[in-house]
C-alpha cells in the first residue's frame, strides 16, 4: 500500500473519530476541498471550520470505506458509505466517491461526490 493511500485511509479513520487536531495536520496550508454540494473551501483553516460545522450537525456519523485505490500516482479514489443521525434524530445515508490528492505527504485536495 502506498503512503498516499495510507494517508487517505487515515483521514477517514480520523474523521470517524472527529479528531480535528489530527485531521488538520494532514492538510497542506493551501489545500482545497469541494463537498458533495459543490461548495469549495480554500485553505486548511476554512476546511477545518467547514468540517467542524459538518460534524456538529450530527448526533453521530460514520464513513465506511467500501473500496480504496490509487488510480494515478498521488490520486486516491475512495468509495464509501456514509451513515449518520442528525440533530432531529433522522437517519442520513448515502453512497459516495471521494478523491484525495496527496502531495509531499499532505492532503492537497479533496473532492466528494454523492452517488445517485
* Predicted pLDDT of residue 18: 96
Q: Could you give the CA distance from residue 31 to residue 43 in angstroms, rounded to a whole number?
A: 5
Q: Using the predicted structure, report yes or no on whether residue 115 has a pLDDT greater than 90.
A: no
Residue 73: what are its φ and ψ, rounded to 5°? Answer: -55, 125
pLDDT in tens, 75-95: 999 999 999 999 999 999 999
State the chain's mean pLDDT as an integer.
96
Cell numbers that stand for 17 in this block: 473519530
Burial 10-46 (b: 16+ CB within 10 A, else e): ebbebbeeeeeeebeebbbeebbbebeeeeebeebee
* Predicted pLDDT of residue 55: 96
Distance between alpha carbon 79 and the CA centroid of its chain, in Å?
11
Give the bridge partners for 41, in sequence order.
33
Please state the rounded mean pLDDT for residues 23-32.
98
Q: Please, what are the domains in the chain?
A: 3-114 (3.10.450.50)
Please state the rounded mean pLDDT for residues 14-38.
97
Q: Could you give the CA distance from residue 82 to residue 31 in angstroms, rounded to a whole number?
A: 23
Q: Using the predicted structure, report yes or no on whether residue 116 has a pLDDT greater than 70.
A: no
Amino acid at each position: 500500500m502506498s503512503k498516499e493511500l495510507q494517508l487517505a485511509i487515515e483521514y477517514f479513520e480520523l474523521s470517524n473519530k472527529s479528531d480535528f487536531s489530527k485531521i488538520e495536520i494532514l492538510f497542506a496550508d493551501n489545500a482545497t476541498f469541494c463537498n458533495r454540494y459543490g461548495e469549495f473551501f480554500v485553505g486548511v483553516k476554512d476546511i477545518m471550520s467547514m468540517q467542524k460545522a459538518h460534524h456538529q450537525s450530527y448526533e453521530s456519523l460514520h464513513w465506511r470505506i467500501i473500496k480504496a485505490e490509487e488510480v494515478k500516482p498521488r490520486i486516491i479514489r475512495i468509495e464509501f458509505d456514509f451513515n449518520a443521525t442528525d440533530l432531529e434524530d433522522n437517519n442520513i445515508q448515502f453512497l459516495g466517491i471521494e478523491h484525495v490528492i496527496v502531495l509531499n505527504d499532505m492532503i492537497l485536495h479533496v473532492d466528494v461526490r454523492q452517488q445517485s
